[in-house]
Structure 1
Amino acid sequence: MEKLRIGLIGAGRFGRLHVRVLRQLAHVEVVAIADIYQPVLEATAAEFGIKSEDCYQDALELIRRDDLDAVDIVSDERSHGPLVIAALKYGKHVIVEKPLSVTSEEAQAIQYLQAETNRQVMVGNISRFSQPYYAIKRSIDSGVLGNVATIRSKRNFSRSWFHSFGNRVHPVYESGVHELDLIVWYAGCRCVRVSAFERNMSGYVHPDLFSAVLVFENGLVASLDSSWMVPSGGPQNLVETLELDGTIDAEIEVIGDKGTAKFNLAHPGFTIWTDSGLQHPETTLWPTGPEGIGGAILSELTHFVNQIRKNQPSSIMPLSDSVHVMEIAEAIVDAARMGETVQLAGNGIRKYHPGSPN
């Protein structure tokens, strides 16, 4: 098979990481890039030797190219849904960074188009390709934990990062979707009821913390807490390959009637002490090793390419799970805003229950 020709949309820090990993794959060629910011576009093109005629400020111009097999969407959250829809209409396979969209209506439209066009659509929920989270899934599927009764999860981010997101998107679509995706994966069935609360401490358009309780059709109860309030003195853990000045403090606990599985992303198993502070380098997501960038990001992008080459949808990251995550995320926003419990029907239709105990 000839090399898979991919166009990248979004040439920021994470988009450039995608290009670096894709260039490690033998059967892939990144031939075009798009970004709305001309200086970023020019700098990325220079870094990776991409010709000026293959650079676009309008992502739709890139999508309309008939010599591309797939697009990799790493742009801002609200652009994801419309760009995925456009890519499918032009016959492209798609990998899109989380979230799939910011509305359940867009997500359902994407699912319909994916079936109609027979193209692959995969959401970059990287945690599914991270070894600890994948090991928890194996322990569930093998019966080691027995019947799963409850899942407890949290994901907190540095307060300084919220300046970029507070007026941009509700945190359920930025931080929350990571844990929601894992919860849906581990539960193995649909969520039917959602209660949620939120609080705005920073004065931005969107709240900087929220909590949610989810009930699934098999009786499993899951909780999710997320905040963007980790102080600047928190241990630095994104210091491998993609350096970010801050902390991701994530934990998940899956409790069954035969066993419990836990993972803490910000654990002190590997530490570096310096005069400027303490680091807990995270080494599962995108570590740099002797053969290049590895970890979950390499597994994720390799899997996407392999599924296109095999012309098979992903069993690890099925689109239907990502669509359901968008339905749950939307229900969390509604439940917190209205102070009501939200019921999710099998078709994603929401019903509200005023005065219901949350």
Structure 2
Amino acid sequence: MSPTVVIAGVGRFGMLHARVWREAGARVVGLADPDPERLAVAARTHEVARTDPDLAALLDRQSADIVVIASDEASHADLAVAALAAGSHVFVEKPLALSTVDAERIAATAAAHGRQVVAGQISRFAAPMARMRARIASGAIGTLCALRLRRDFSRAWYASFGDRVHPVWESCIHDIDLATSFTGRPVRRVMAMHAVAAGKARSSVVSALLEFDGGVIATIESAWLVPPGAPGTLDGGPLALDGAIVGEAEALGLDGVLRQRLVSDALVEWTGTGAQVPDMSLWPEEDGVIGGALRREIRYAIDVCAGHRPPDVMPLREACWGVAAAEAIVESLRTNSPVELPPA
């Protein structure tokens, strides 16, 4: 039976979710967004009859098996708790929450109501990252010693949405989560530095050193400084976002090393509008539908919420660990001091 889905937040990524969940076999039965014009456009586009600016009010009128939260980051925790209290499972886009207190509140509410919460950390579902995780777990590189992760974004995106919240929550959270998935452990100590390079009040360049329980060291770096002339990796497509994501992930063990480039140049397009190195892993269109990591992530969420598989790829406890680590990085940047995390 097709699961029923309500989507909270119908901005650019919420609209993409509406499409992919439908393509994955779900029935989108309701939409919530405080912007009435955006809500009306989304309802027409996806032929959804029931809408409301308030998610709780919508769920009073329309039950849903799963609520997908793709709203602004600051609203994630309250919307997740409201959806869980209404009896729905929850898929919440990254980050799960903006504080450890809120992450734990979500986890406690999910446990109290016997519902599942899947955090939308899409990088875990990219095929190369899934293989890296499996190879580390199998012992292919021996004892894991260190991780290096870097992710740089187009500078133009910073003015558009990069400083909506602290960039640690927007960009670094991806690699914090990957490091957490590779180690399977929480972070115990953080030291971070930053530069205000893009002309805004918040950090547009961040470098953090994380020590995980068990001793693995990870470096997390992010800079919103990729210039407009760089080859694009996103050319609009289903997300309608032009620009570039450039990065690498490296795992160093006693018996070997794994390295992966976030965007491969195996496919290069030279056209009259410039050079493109299109991403083929996150949400490529394949035979008229969205594929890649986003589709795998959503199929996983549907199966977990239906009880067809355990929450093994994205355990809620690891999403909570990631929130704690990101919060510690922000605090280290604020104080210019190391931050010790309490035992998880």
Range of TM-score over shorter length:
over 0.9
Q: Is the 2:126–2:293 Cα contact (8 Å) retained in structure 1?
A: yes
> Does residue 213 of structure 1 match 2:209?
yes
Q: Is the 2:162–2:170 Cα contact (8 Å) retained in structure 1?
A: no
Distance 1:23 1:154 in 2: 33
Distance 1:277 1:64 in 2: 50
- Superposed displacement of residue 39, structure 1: 1.7
> Does residue 68 of structure 1 match 2:67?
no
Per the alignment, residue 120 of structure 1 pairs with 116
What SS class does the counterpart of residue 23 from structure 2 fall into? coil
Structure 1 residue corresponding to 2:261, chosen from 242, 260, 264: 264
Per the alignment, residue 14 of structure 2 pairs with 15
| 1:241–1:167 Cα change, 3 Å | closer
Map 1:133-144 → 2, pairs under 5 A: 133-144=129-140
Superposition TM-score, scaled by structure 1 size: 0.92
| 1:166–1:279 Cα change, 3 Å | closer
Distance 2:113 2:249 in 1: 36
- Superposed displacement of residue 25, structure 1: 2.5
Distance 1:152 1:66 in 2: 45
Where do 4+ consecutive residues of structure 1 move more than 6 Å? none
Per the alignment, residue 157 of structure 2 pairs with 161
Q: Is the 1:166–1:205 Cα contact (8 Å) retained in structure 2?
A: no
Structure 2 residue corresponding to 1:253, chosen from 250, 273, 278: 250
- Superposed displacement of residue 66, structure 1: 5.1
Q: Is the 1:6–1:30 Cα contact (8 Å) retained in structure 2?
A: yes
Deviation string, structure 1 residues 293-323 (Cα, Å, up to 9, x no partner): 1111111111111112126541100000010
Deviation string, structure 1 residues 107-133 (Cα, Å, up to 9, x no partner): 011111111111010011011111000
Structure 1, gaps ≥5 residues long: 348-358
What SS class does the counterpart of residue 201 from structure 1 fall into? coil
Q: How many residues in Structure 1 have an aligned counterpart in Structure 2?
A: 343
Distance 1:9 1:89 in 2: 15
> Does residue 131 of structure 1 match 2:127?
yes
- Superposed displacement of residue 214, structure 1: 0.6
| 1:43–1:84 Cα change, 3 Å | same
> Does residue 340 of structure 1 match 2:327?
no
What SS class does the counterpart of residue 20 from structure 2 fall into? helix
Per the alignment, residue 200 of structure 1 pairs with 196
Structure 2 residue corresponding to 1:48, chosen from 40, 46, 52: 46
- The one-letter code sitting in structure 2 at the alignment partner of 1:14 is F
Deviation string, structure 1 residues 63-116 (Cα, Å, up to 9, x no partner): 334521220000111111111111112221000100001111100111111111
Distance 1:224 1:217 in 2: 16
What SS class does the counterpart of residue 229 from structure 2 fall into? coil
Per the alignment, residue 294 of structure 1 pairs with 291
CA RMSD of aligned residues (A): 1.4
Distance 2:339 2:65 in 1: 40
Distance 1:157 1:250 in 2: 9
Distance 2:71 2:203 in 1: 22
- The one-letter code sitting in structure 2 at the alignment partner of 1:21 is V
- Superposed displacement of residue 203, structure 1: 3.6
- Superposed displacement of residue 151, structure 1: 0.2
- Superposed displacement of residue 287, structure 1: 1.0
What SS class does the counterpart of residue 241 from structure 1 fall into? helix
Superposition TM-score, scaled by structure 2 size: 0.96
- Superposed displacement of residue 21, structure 1: 1.2
Distance 1:67 1:214 in 2: 42
Per the alignment, residue 37 of structure 2 pairs with 39
Distance 1:64 1:249 in 2: 43
Distance 1:333 1:171 in 2: 9
Q: Is the 2:155–2:198 Cα contact (8 Å) retained in structure 1?
A: no
Deviation string, structure 1 residues 38-76 (Cα, Å, up to 9, x no partner): 22111111111112xx01122222233452122000011
- The one-letter code sitting in structure 2 at the alignment partner of 1:45 is A
Per the alignment, residue 323 of structure 1 pairs with 320
- The one-letter code sitting in structure 2 at the alignment partner of 1:10 is G
Q: Is the 2:98–2:169 Cα contact (8 Å) retained in structure 1?
A: yes
Distance 1:291 1:231 in 2: 31
Distance 2:48 2:118 in 1: 25
